[in-house]
Structure 1
Amino acid sequence: MRGILTVFAGPMFAGKSAHLLSDYPDDAATLCLAPAFDTRSGAQIKSRVGLSRAARSVSSWPEDFAAYRHILLDEGHFMIAPHYKGDVARDIERALDKGVNVTVAGLDTDYRREAFVVMDRLRALADHYVPLTARCHRCGAPAAWTAKKRPTGHLLETGDEDLYEARCDTHWQSPD
């Protein structure tokens, strides 16, 4: 039987990691993965609401994936070259074909409002796609966008409220 792919996507501060951690059991049959590129939380998935779980930091798909019933992958948008060796969408398809359920959380767009291709590909494969919104840091309205506060010259860059805000259509602007 084929596994089920669930994708939580949206801007920063939308609760993607919290869903990943609260909606799925913390047991030996579940493997948690975090991109090695994102060193902010160490070897764990961590949410802003205080939930956390130990995770394996990876830059390629784990060879022992079939030993698990469920794989949770946080920050899926970071799973691209040069930070990830391989094609994570194909790797996830391979896991699904082996009957492993996979749940991914990640940004759907970058700070320029351009789609992360890897997340678009996962959306197309998903059995369940859950779009999330945050609250605009300026006005409190529903926010679908991540805004960078200042230009840094980097497209892929880890950060938190020091560098990013959630913004609505009215308040989003490019830092460039």
Structure 2
Amino acid sequence: MAPPPADVADARTGEVHVIVGPMFAGKTTALLRRVNTEAGSGRKVAMIKSSKDNRYATDAVVTHDGTKFPCWALPDLASFKLNYGPQAYQQLDVIGIDEAQFFGDLYEFCCQAADLDGKIIVIAGLDGDYLRRSFGSVLDIIPIADTVTKLTSRCELCGKRAIFTLRKVDETQTELIGGSDVYMPVCRQHYIS
């Protein structure tokens, strides 16, 4: 068997890692843990979040318990390379993406960054909305993911394992950004009742 062409053999191989689950499951905490571990290993990292999510900070990814990591808040992922700077982008090893469900161009970005640019992509986002339907394009990433981690929370009503997010207010639009004032994690039993 002949060796691959030099340009293929020398290319860095990227990866895509997906962290999903209901609200309050620790998705952002898991994302930050992974990104901090990569940075601690000497890799150059950058974090992105949707500019729609300004609950805790506009320039940082923030967990519900207040842990922060500086980030780029963007309306789409296509603008990241340009905003970050093409030369600086070349030096990046790892890109973290929080609240990934808000990015309509998530699939395209991950294919480009991992397959062609050799980046490690770690995304965290909701896999379902409050109606238990696919939310955004996070589930579209599953076929190209190296790993998928589904986290759970604790049901706010009974303490059992929570896999769903229940909306506590009467608003019906799919995208309603909020915290514990708007959502709570619940088990299957409490979701259907």
Q: TM-score under structure 2 normalisation?
A: 0.82
SS in 1 for 2:188: coil
> Which piece of structure 1 moves more, 117-126 or 156-165?
117-126
**Alignment of structure 1 residues 83-122 onto 2, 5 Å:** 87-96=105-114, 97-122=116-141
Bigger helix share: 2
In the other structure, the counterpart of 2:60 is: 44
Q: Name stretches of at least 5 consecutive residues in structure 2 with no aligned partner.
A: 1-11
User: Following TM superposition, by how much is the alpha carbon of 1:115 offset from its aligned partner in structure 2, in angstroms?
Assistant: 1.3
**Alignment of structure 1 residues 93-172 onto 2, 5 Å:** 93-96=111-114, 97-172=116-191
**1:29 maps onto 2:44 in alignment:** yes
Q: Matched residues, percent identical?
A: 27
Deviations 1:127-169 (A, max 9, x none): 0100000000100100100010121132101100000000100
SS in 2 for 1:153: coil
Deviations 1:20-66 (A, max 9, x none): 11122247710100101111121111112332101000112212444
Question: How many aligned residue pairs are there?
Answer: 168
User: Following TM superposition, by how much is the alpha carbon of 1:121 offset from its aligned partner in structure 2, in angstroms?
Assistant: 0.7
**Alpha-carbon separation, structure 2, partners of 1:98 and 1:22:** 23
SS in 2 for 1:110: coil
**Alpha-carbon separation, structure 1, partners of 2:23 and 2:166:** 9
Q: Name stretches of at least 5 consecutive residues in structure 1 with no aligned partner.
A: 81-86
Question: Cα RMSD over matched residues?
Answer: 1.7
Equivalent residue in structure 2 for 1:68, among 79, 92, 117 = 92
Q: TM-score under structure 1 normalisation?
A: 0.89
User: Following TM superposition, by how much is the alpha carbon of 1:173 offset from its aligned partner in structure 2, in angstroms?
Assistant: 4.3
